[in-house]
Structure 1
Amino acid sequence: MDTPIMNVLLWILQAVLAAMFAVVATMKALLPKEKLEPGMPWTADFSSGAVRFIGLAELIGALGLVLPAATGIAPILTPLAATGLALIMALAAVTHLRREEPAAIALNAVLFIAAAVVAWGRFGPYAL
């Protein structure tokens, strides 16, 4: 694929992923676990501190998808953030597999693939 087109597609993917992770991560980081449980039943298996930690890790990853590349400051952090988010999604899929939540596993798989594409593109042929 032509380099400028692929760069635009990667930027769109980065922005969409960052927005999705930022919204959900902010909820995990700021809301009490009890308020999260109805929509995120997996939180019942984790302590409040663990849920907040996951939220903060996802929020840092969301910021890392866009800010380093956009500012030109340490742009290597963008594919590292994508790799970290892909790892979080792989671990989340394991949790949902254990809990027998196939719909959540499907979402984790989509987000994993999207993050892996960003990591591949920004580490490799379309690095910034």
Structure 2
Amino acid sequence: MGAVREQGQILVWVLLMLGVMGLLVGMIYEGGRMFRAWRRLRMAADAAAFAAAQWVDPDTFQASGRVVLRWPQAQRAAQEAAALNAPGAACATAYVNPLTGKVVVRCYGRIRGLLLLGEIRLAARGEARPAFGARNEGE
């Protein structure tokens, strides 16, 4: 009598495990999509920082050695570079890190989740060193 009641138990376990494995595969796929989108946004942020670094004020740099951006042009160049490299990406700001002298750009993007995650906001930071004043390789 006990054997009759246990019939079909394995079917329940197999269906349960198939559901769990399906969720795990979906999460792995979603994580891969998010990582790919973040990598693309990171490359766009680096390109935007490089574009913004081209707008260093040469007069200020030659006079004092300080890196100062021509902000409206640098911001516009960063936005254009980010849009070319990652459609839909937006750069919040371009600024100079006072400790390193590098131009830093923060970019944001969004990716639509396939599972129950909805829309996911991604952020990336790019850095570039202005080339003004470099006298030797590696400066």
Name the TM-score class by shorter chain.
0.3 to 0.5
Structure richer in helix, relative to its length: 1
TM-score normalized by structure 2? 0.32
TM-score normalized by structure 1? 0.35
Structure richer in strand, relative to its length: 2
- Structure showing greater Rg: 2
